[in-house]
Structure 1
Amino acid sequence: MNAKECNIRKNTTPRRTKAKTASSTGRRIYEVDEAGQGQFGNPKRQKKIRSAESNSNAFLKTTFLPKLKENEMANSLSQRKKNKMERDFFKSLSQMSEHYNISQFVHTNLEFPYNLSLSFFHSQKQIKKKIKNWQDITLKKKGNDIYFVSEERCNTGMTLFYIPVVPLYKMLHSRKDRKTAQLLLSVCTYLYQSVDIPYYRQESSYLFWLYEMLEDWLDQDEELDEDSIYKKQLKKAEVIGDFMEQKISNVENLNFFQNRIESFKPYGDFEKECLEIAQKAFELFINFPNERIYRNVYLNNNTELKDFDEDNYEDDETVISIEKYVSFFADSRGWVYDNIVDTVNNEFNQYGDIQEPIIYKIFNGSNVSGDSLDFENSVFEIINRLAKVFEDYSNQ
């Protein structure tokens, strides 16, 4: 299953918006630059004569500085305070430019506050192009000092990162695909044990509640008997889910991880992709042995609430928490899957934001954190590719 597009999305405003529903496959949109098409004329054609260009058109080619909105506070600043603000501004900007390795433009030929505005715009434009997870830069004021704070954030792109276990179950029971299955089993064990991805048969998981809800619906339908195809699909999801959790939770799969990679011989594109996924996961396992997917997430994306009361977690939750869109689940086909996705969409429509890994960096003269979201980026990529190979296997 390729990671599913759904209705979750990053929203820069607190207003709740209706989001898109999940689709069965991920989509990628390519933009085609059509500039230049149809511009090749007959070389023998006589050039069309035009009237001379009016001098008034030159006005349209003139670039003007944007007029900044002035307020009473800015007008009331003394020259001493303006000088202090400029010093703090460019000191913080210099530290931020050095950290992100970007060029710094100081517009000394411009007066306050245009020199600050254009210098900030130039740096912001560079960081946006260079830093994959760049989200925002804000200018903070604390006491008499001002400094920049940058926000880096994983953009999960309205995606459900759900890993199906039924395809892996089928692979393990196929003599031809058993080696490949064992390789991917080690990947799943790493995601389960180390990264701490939720599993849908765990009572504390979000998806466990959804599967339980479907079972209650079926039990309340008096017209359905025990041989109903819907009840059989749900029972299959439970039985295989319990069996596969025993397999995936076995830490021996991590002990055999490297050996399985080194001894694996791919014989086709599918096996090559599986090997690449395993190699990338093993690299994370070695470089980030104790890191979890939750290491840079905060309740309601508020860093000030890092230590929250878990007893009141559900009551305080105002964004889509990460364990709701990242999880192991049963399968990506059938009536059960369709109803799970519909239910997820309906609930996610009630939210306007999503909990994603975030890091903040403060440029106030102190040492800047070297933290990055490389680990989280790699985890999301592995899950996406893993779900895709399971989807491809199911379609064989």
Structure 2
Amino acid sequence: MNATKNNIGKNTTTRRAKTAKVTQTIRRVSGMDEAAKRCIGSPKRPTPIGSDKTASNGFLKTTFLPKFKENDFQKSISKEDNLIKIQRKKSKTERDFYKSLSQLAGHYGLNPIPTENFDFPYNIALSVWNIKKQLKESNENWDNIQLIQNENRTYFISEERCKTGTSLFYIPLIPLYRMLKNKAKKKSAQLLLSVCSYLYRNANIPYYRQENSYLYWNYEMLTDWISEDEEIDENHSSKKELQQAEIIGDFMEQKIFHKNNVEVFGKRLETFKAKNNFDKECFQLSKKVFQLYNDYPEESIFRNAHFNNIQTEENTDDDFYNEEKVVTMDKYISFFADDKGLIYQNLIDSVNNDFNEYSELQEPMITKVFDGSDIPKNNLDFENRLFGILIQLSTLLGD
């Protein structure tokens, strides 16, 4: 679709070039630099140890280990140090390294290749290469590991991230409002009402009619553009859509805010009888959400969100005063009015244009330190399940 076709009126307000309209239910953010989106970790896969191709030349059948490049371990040993100091430092580094490696491998259920017989520091480089490869293959949330030398200690830090892609997790509520008014769909609508109530009250999904929400500002901006355009009369469809977004939005917020919808969630599931495929889909999704509610009754979607994707303990005083440099989660996760019409098309264009100013998304992430201390039991199970639910819910309400 022509990107300029969705413009409202002929407003002369200067706007950035629009991205192409997104048609999928969970909307992809256009224009985001995929390669630069995450600063942590390398997008490159490790080079395989050997070649599986046959050749008459025996040389080509030789197994080659990864090429070692000079790293911080080698550089940290000054050429001016005497042999005794070098040996002590090497032994301490190796001892700490293998202790940390053992703790990390035990936590993630990995089997590191034996590297003790290789010379230092190649043994460490080879172990790091192997453990990264295993983590990438076995842990969907693994993002990066770092080998830290701090205060004469050497240890691993792992970073896990719930990767959301470049999608807008926007949940339309006007379709749910219409379902509640439809006698044939009312029972299914009540199930989804409990789902939305849990997401709003317990999981803290933002709501577009709240003045401190990102989408509230976007809807207000669209309202201003329309009101300033003299060629748009009171009967223009865009004005009607905005009025609906406001009136129905306020009404539905009161509905999903009511705690009774969460309290009777289980009873609604027990008494529900599906009559068609749509009812079955609503029921299956609602069961997932009810189980998530029982497993995580008070967990927020923002529980593992960090300012500029930096863990609190890593923040410096300068970081605290710096402006946000990433697209925060409250900007791409939200309830909103509808996924149809002129207002929707212009809203998505506006959001995409705004996001194009950034190169990274804020995503749920956790850090674990393997220095011999107790490892926290936190994980990203809640976030993994919740994002899947948001995709399904958006699809159901968008049909």
What's the TM-score, normalizing by structure 2? Answer: 0.83
Is the Cα–Cα contact under 8 Å of residues 137 and 149 in structure 1 kept in the other structure?
A: yes
Gaps of 5+ in 2: 1-23, 41-53
Q: Report the counterpart of residue 312 of structure 2 in structure 1.
A: 304
Is the Cα–Cα contact under 8 Å of residues 66 and 126 in structure 2 kept in the other structure?
A: no
Give the drift of 1:61: 2.3
Q: List, as ranges, runs of 4+ consecutive aligned residues in structure 1 with deviation greater than 3 Å.
A: 7-10, 71-77, 305-309
Is the Cα–Cα contact under 8 Å of residues 38 and 361 in structure 2 kept in the other structure?
A: no
1:344 aligns with 2:351: yes
Give the drift of 1:306: 8.8
Match of 1:332 among 323, 330, 339: 339
Is the Cα–Cα contact under 8 Å of residues 92 and 364 in structure 1 kept in the other structure?
A: yes
Alignment of 1:61-210 (within 5 A): 61-70=61-70, 72-74=75-77, 76=79, 78-210=86-218
List per-residue Cα deviations over 1:209-266 (Å, max 9, x = no partner): 0000000000100111111111111111111111111111111101110000111111
- The letter of the residue matching 1:65 is L
Distance in 1, Cα, partners of 2:315 & 2:130: 37
1:11 aligns with 2:37: yes
1:255 aligns with 2:263: yes
Match of 1:369 among 376, 379, 384: 376
Give the drift of 1:74: 4.4
Distance in 2, Cα, partners of 1:232 & 1:246: 21
Give the drift of 1:271: 1.5
Report the 3-state secondary structure (helix = DSSP H, G, I; strand = E; otherwise coil) of the residue aligned with 1:147. Answer: strand
Match of 2:328 among 321, 326, 339: 321
Is the Cα–Cα contact under 8 Å of residues 299 and 305 in structure 1 kept in the other structure?
A: no
Q: Report the counterpart of residue 288 of structure 1 in structure 2.
A: 296
Match of 2:244 among 211, 214, 236: 236
Report the 3-state secondary structure (helix = DSSP H, G, I; strand = E; otherwise coil) of the residue aligned with 1:316. Answer: coil
- The letter of the residue matching 2:61 is K
190-199 or 108-117: which moved more? 108-117
Identity of aligned residues (%): 48
Report the 3-state secondary structure (helix = DSSP H, G, I; strand = E; otherwise coil) of the residue aligned with 1:106. Answer: coil
Report the 3-state secondary structure (helix = DSSP H, G, I; strand = E; otherwise coil) of the residue aligned with 1:59. Answer: helix
- The letter of the residue matching 2:372 is G
Distance in 2, Cα, partners of 1:219 & 1:302: 41
1:221 aligns with 2:224: no
Give the drift of 1:190: 0.2
- The letter of the residue matching 1:110 is F
Give the drift of 1:72: 4.3
Q: Report the counterpart of residue 2 of structure 1 in structure 2.
A: 25
Aligned-residue Cα RMSD (Å) equals 2.1
Distance in 1, Cα, partners of 2:288 & 2:144: 29
Give the drift of 1:120: 1.9
1:390 aligns with 2:393: no
Distance in 2, Cα, partners of 1:230 & 1:175: 28
Distance in 2, Cα, partners of 1:175 & 1:308: 57
Q: Report the counterpart of residue 60 of structure 1 in structure 2.
A: 60
- The letter of the residue matching 1:11 is K
Report the 3-state secondary structure (helix = DSSP H, G, I; strand = E; otherwise coil) of the residue aligned with 2:171. Answer: strand
Cα 1:306–1:205 change in 2 (3 A) is farther
362-371 or 239-248: which moved more? 239-248
